[in-house]
Amino acid sequence: MPMTLIFSRVIVFGLFLSVHSWFTQQPCAGSDDASELSIEWRQFPSIPDREGFASGFSGVSHGQLIFAGGANFPDGRPWEGGRKVWYDTVFRLKPGGNEWTRIGRLPQSLAYGVSVTWKDVVICVGGSDATSHSSKVFGIEVLHDEIRIKPFPDLPFPVANACGAVSGDVVYIAGGQTSPDSTEALNSMLTLNLMAPEEGWKLLSTCPWTGRILAIAGARDGNFYLVSGAELRTGANQQAGASQKVMRHYLRDAWQFDPTAGWTRMPDLPAAVVAAPSPAVFIKGGLLIPGGDDGGQISATPQAHQGFSRQVIYWNEQKNSWQESVGISHPRVTAPCVEWNGWNLIISGEQRPGIRSPEVWGFRIR
């Protein structure tokens, strides 16, 4: 066989392997219920930034994918003395497009807030900048290549590291903390009726769950779901006058809120999923959470960290139980999860503590 033909076949086979790594079907093996799920992963165009961003705002406006804000360490890793920087850039990816474009700026640099999509508007709630937490709420709409910032009522107090979702015309925001030096997390929930925003935010301050940050939210059929997160605790035996050391206690509980019946506790998760991509995804009669921080490496140094959980955790609604299985090749935390053209996209986020990724990965159930 001529060498040129052999060389051509080698190239074709190599290209096949490369493409196959982008489009992979990974069955969720484990329990009988989880094994029925087959997850297909696909890589989408990366955010045009070398580092990528943690906890940006994202959603869909008139068919266009939007990503804005976020934070990273552009000048070095945090353990090297790198400075954390917050951003106000707004990126847009058109359907079928192969690259993101910068189309505008936020009213201020922000990250660690909540974003939801409602009627072609990406609503951004709270968050933080380099010095403080925010109570601002605004919407991003992109129409005919023009970006429009729409004001919404402010929160009654600043909130960052909360979780949230939209159900019908109501936005739910749960947990979080009011300032960078908070020693306790909020155990309250805020709601806003988007059809009557002039009524402002309503506060539900009698929630039965422990206050938490970085929980996962979900919403469906008028109900709101709150899953996992981390409680904030102060260290014991502090010396008089010394600053308190705030530690995270990883939670495995899950809750369902019915506006009529109130809160109901669901079964505990098999593992924590702190800071997993949120909102969670409802599929095949259940709730799916891709990855998260399970707390297994809480004592590891950032340099020794092996990456976040590769587990997919699935709640079977009919059996009212959780299952888990390995199903993630590129785990991320502090990343928004956005439904777009049949895919659930995990956009940028952290691949290890202090290390972001500009990559965008999508998954769907086959």
pLDDT tens sequence across 49-107 = 999 999 999 999 999 999 999 999 999 999 999 999 999 999 999 999 999 999 999 99
| Surface-to-core class of residue 226, CB atoms within 10 Å of its CB (0-12 exposed, 13-18 middle, 19+ buried) | buried
Q: Which string of DSSP letters, residue by residue, matches 308-344?
A: S--EEEEEETTTTEEEEEE--SS--BS-BEEEETTEE
Structural domain boundaries in the chain = 25-53+285-348+361-366, 55-151, 161-234+245-266
Cβ atoms of residues 226 and 172 within 8 Å: no
The amino acid sitting at 127 is G
Distance CA 330, CA 310 (A): 8
Distance CA 166, CA 194 (A): 10
Residues 185-197 as b/e (b if ≥16 CB within 10 A, e otherwise) read: bbbbbbbbebeeb
For 1-58, the pLDDT digits (tens) are 443 433 333 333 333 333 333 333 333 333 344 446 788 999 999 999 999 999 999 9
Distance CA 180, CA 184 (A): 11
Q: How many C-beta atoms lie closer than 10 Å to residue 42's C-beta?
A: 14
Distance CA 335, CA 345 (A): 9
For 163-185, the pLDDT digits (tens) are 999 999 999 999 999 999 999 99
Q: How many helices (H) and strands (E) does the chain have?
A: 1, 31
Distance CA 360, CA 348 (A): 6
> Tokens 């934070």 sit at which residue?
71
The predicted structure's pLDDT at residue 24 = 37
Q: How many C-beta atoms lie closer than 10 Å to residue 289's C-beta?
A: 27
